[in-house]
Amino acid sequence: MADQRDHKMFEADKTWLCKQPGMNTWPKGCRGLVMTLSQWIADYSEPLCEESVTRSDANYGKYLSRLWMCWSHHWNQGRQRSGGTIDGASVASRIQSGRGYTGGGRLGGDPLRDVVLAVAMVAKEDLAAKQFLKEYAGYCRSVGSRISTNADDWWDEFIDCLAGYSGGDRKPDLDSFSGRCGLKNWLGRAVNRFVLRHRHAGRSLGGRSVNPLEEDAPIATVSGPEEPAVGREATLLIQKALTQVPPEDRLLILAVFIDKTKKKDIAAQLGVHPGQVTRRIQRALDRLRDVLVGIACDGEGSPGLVDLRDFGRRLVDELEASIPDNERGASNDNTDAVGTHETTAPELGETDQ
């Protein structure tokens, strides 16, 4: 009886799933899927929980459904890529090695293992929490350091938002992780969302106002034109200019062009249409351009730079040029990304949301 109840979660995917190898006999195929999923739960949970999770565990159904969400997502992508059919075991083997089927294929980890870790974290498993901190604390703090110089200001609150340790009605963020990418890639985005959410609400991180560009704060380098001795000058110029634009412009520019946060995620956190994010980006760039030109006119730049005014304009023009043509100025724009999250932290070959 328990197997029959488990089989219901496959019904939504039956149209394509029944055509895959080993699934032509539906009940038998479903039993095979449940057996595979159950074995993954046991194997992955053993080092993350006090006891390996079995069917009697209160969270067994959650582990089962979330693992299927992950596997079915990649299986469906794989069969579309292969022309209609692909063996589920080969899909599982591929994603367990950290390779997907879209966005360059780099998932940032084994999403099946990471789904079990996420569920175990929300279930308040101590071993899972220790493993999470061991693997991801340094990475998350590194990503967050671009926006807040002291991770201690926001770290505890961030972990609480992820796992829901303080209780309350708010759904833990890790409950939304479904394994479309590895947890490392997803966490990079989660750090950005967390800061944007607090900034838009006018809140501070750990009682400290969000100010990503204090005098002693590091700033990621924005690539400028390849000219002799310009790289350091460009970084300093951008750093100074960003301190002089409104805070909302500063954070938007950092989120879009440094951290490559997707416009739909920014729009969701701000509670606006993605088209409005496009217009806000344009306004932020216009203000940054004006500030850069103003700095040049005031003679604050290095005298070794041939023409700071033109250089400032070109820096912003280069940022603006990085926005795809179909995303500029579209009032009803619904596209996903301003850039990819593939090669800069947080790296994203595929996205979870």
Residue 189 lies in a domain: yes
In a domain? residue 209: no
49 and 96 together in one domain: yes
The answer to whether 222 and 301 are in contact (CB under 8 A) is: no
> pTM, whole model, 2 decimals?
0.60
Question: Total structural domains in the chain?
Answer: 3
E strands within the chain? none
Predicted confidence at residue 214, as pLDDT, reads: 32
CA distance 23 to 14: 9
Cβ atoms within 10 Å, residue 125: 22
Same domain, yes or no, for 269 and 313?
Answer: yes
* Distance (Å, whole) CA 338 – CA 257: 8
Q: Return the residue matching tokens 């301190």.
A: 243
- Whether 172 is in a domain gets the answer yes
pLDDT in tens, 288-345: 877 776 665 554 444 333 344 455 555 555 555 545 444 444 333 322 222 223 223 3
Nearest to 68, CA basis, from 35, 30, 43, 37 = 37
In the predicted structure, residue 12 carries a pLDDT above the cut 70: yes
Residues 20 and 110 placed together within one structural domain of the fold: yes
As a whole number, mean pLDDT of residues 223-245 equals 58
- Residue 148 is predicted with a pLDDT of 59
Give me the residues paired with residue 99 across strands. Answer: 106
Q: Which of the two residues, 245 and 215, has the higher pLDDT score? A: 245
**DSSP letter string over 227-261?**
-TT-HHHHHHHHHHHHTTS-HHHHHHHIIIIIS--
Residue 213 has pLDDT above 80, yes or no: no
Q: Is residue 42 in a domain?
A: yes
Whether residue 44 is found in the same domain as residue 63: yes
pLDDT score of 180: 93
pLDDT (0 to 100) of residue 349: 33
**Of 8-12, 99-103, 209-213, 336-340, which gets the smallest average pLDDT?**
336-340
- Give, for 18, the enclosing helix (H) or strand (E): none
222's enclosing H/E stretch is none
Using DSSP's 3-state secondary structure scheme, residue 1 falls into: coil
Model confidence at 219, in pLDDT bands (50, 70, 90)?
very low
In this predicted structure, the answer to whether residue 158 has a pLDDT above a threshold of 90 is no
- Structure-token pair, residue 61: 């159904």
**225 found inside a domain:** no
Is 194 within the bounds of a domain? yes
Q: What is the DSSP letter of 325?
A: G
Q: Compute the distance between CA of residue 36 and CA of residue 30 in angstroms, rounded to an integer.
A: 10
C-alpha 185/C-alpha 344 separation (Å) is 10
Q: What is the distance between the alpha carbons of residues 128 and 351, in angstroms, rounded to a whole number?
A: 23
Q: Give the position of tokens 């002089």.
A: 244
The answer on 24 and 8 residing in a single domain is: yes
Q: Is residue 343 situated within a structural domain? A: no
Mean pLDDT over 45-59 rounds to 93
Average pLDDT over residues 218-228: 35
Structure-token match 């009605």, residue found: 169
Range of the domain at 43: 2-117
187 class by beta-carbon count within 10 Å (0-12 exposed, 13-18 middle, 19+ buried):
buried
Q: What DSSP line would sit under 168-190, residue for residue?
A: SSSPPGGGG--SSS-HHHHHHHH
pLDDT per residue as tens digits for the range 130-151: 999 999 999 888 877 766 556 6
Q: Which of 82, 98, 117 is the last residue of a domain?
A: 117
For residue 206, the model assigns a pLDDT of 39
For residues 149-170, average pLDDT: 79
**Of the ranges 169-178, 215-224, 235-244, 245-254, the best mean pLDDT one:** 169-178
Among 90, 117, 144, which residue terminates a domain? 117
Does one domain contain both 8 and 47?
yes
- The SS3 of residue 99 is strand
Q: Which of 200, 215, 239 is the last residue of a domain?
A: 200
- 20 in any annotated domain: yes
The proportion of the chain whose per-residue pLDDT surpasses 70, expressed as a percent, equals 67
pLDDT digits (tens, 9 = 90+) for 59-76: 999 999 999 999 999 999
- According to DSSP, residue 345 is labeled S
Angle at 172 between CA 171 and CA 177, to 5 degrees: 110
Which is more confident, 211 or 32?
32
Verify that 181 and 145 share a domain, yes or no: yes
Same domain, 267 and 177: no
Higher pLDDT, 231 or 68: 68
Same domain membership, residue 187 and residue 147 = yes
Position 320 scores a pLDDT of 53
Mean pLDDT of 99-114: 90
Structure tokens at 133: 């901190």
Question: Which tokens go with 344?
Answer: 């800069």
Are 260 and 301 contained in the same domain? yes
* Residue 302 near residue 237, CB atoms below 8 Å: no
